[in-house]
Amino acid sequence: MAGQAAETPQLELRVTEALSKDVGRGFARLDPEDLVRLGASTGEILEVSGKRRTYCRAMLAYKQARGQSRVQLDGITRGNAGVGLDELVTVRRRDCPPGQQVVLAPLDARPSDRDLQYIAGILDGLAVVENDRIRAALFGRHAADFRVARTVPAGPVLIHHTTRLVFGPTEELEPVHTMSYEDI
């Protein structure tokens, strides 16, 4: 298996800001030619490596953003990868099994029971790994932020409609800069 990872095509791409409509959706927008070089298709999971690894769904960059060797990532994803705008990341295609269980720790007030049921549907299809920060857009302009405390199996998984989501206690963390360029 170790030899197989070395054979997986990878690219070094420069990070640029995501579109505001993509915030919290776990997308990495790339030039279609870069996707071909990676052996990936739209909708597949990509591993994005900066100071740490995070996982995103491959989407096509819009025409004005193509041909620049760039990947568009939102502030949440950049934080998960430990990179800023205009920094280099390594991107590769990655198979990601459905999670059996994902434990989420709210980073602010614990959402209501009604919101928790709604959140499961919002997160369906999101690729996560332990210690990722994720955001669920709730009714209106409200959002709930969580830290992925644990995944079963360990490693990157897809939240799927069969995944058991467990909501742990609210975490008191160091102040997190929740405002990014796309929020303005």
CATH number where 132 lies: 3.10.330.10
Q: What does the pLDDT read at residue 109?
A: 73
How many Cα atoms are found within 13 Å in the side-chain-facing hemisphere of 4? Answer: 4
Domains identified in the chain, total number:
2
- Out of 93, 115, 140, a domain closes at 93
Beta strands in the chain (DSSP E): 10-17, 27-30, 45-49, 53-60, 70-73, 88-93, 101-106, 127-128, 133-137, 143-152, 157-158, 164-167
Same domain for 113 and 160, yes or no, is yes
Q: How many CA atoms lie within 13 A of 90 on its CB side?
A: 9
- Residues 76 and 130 both lie in one domain: no
- CA quadruple 68, 15, 58, 63: dihedral sign: negative
Burial track 126-151 (b if 16+ CB lie within 10 A, e otherwise) = bbbbeebbbbbebeeeeebbbbbbeb
Q: Are residues 53 and 121 both part of a single domain?
A: no
Tell me how far CA of residue 10 lies from CA of 24, 114, 146, in angstroms.
Answer: 24, 42, 29
Q: Give pLDDT, residue 149.
A: 97
pLDDT of amino acid 10: 98
* Cα–Cα dist 61/64, whole Å: 8
Q: Are residues 131 and 73 in the same domain?
A: no
- The gap between the terminal CA atoms of the chain, to the nearest Å, is 44
Range of the domain at 173: 101-182
For 162-174, what is the mean pLDDT?
A: 79
Task: Give 102-156 pLDDT, tens digit per residue.
Answer: 999 999 877 777 877 788 889 999 999 999 999 998 776 678 899 999 999 999 9
Out of 93, 114, 129, pick the residue that ends a domain.
Answer: 93
pLDDT tens string 14-47: 999 999 999 999 999 999 999 999 999 999 999 9
H and E: helices and strands count for the chain: 4, 12
Burial class (CB in 10 A: 0-12, 13-18, 19+), 78: buried
Domain final residue, candidates 38, 68, 93? 93
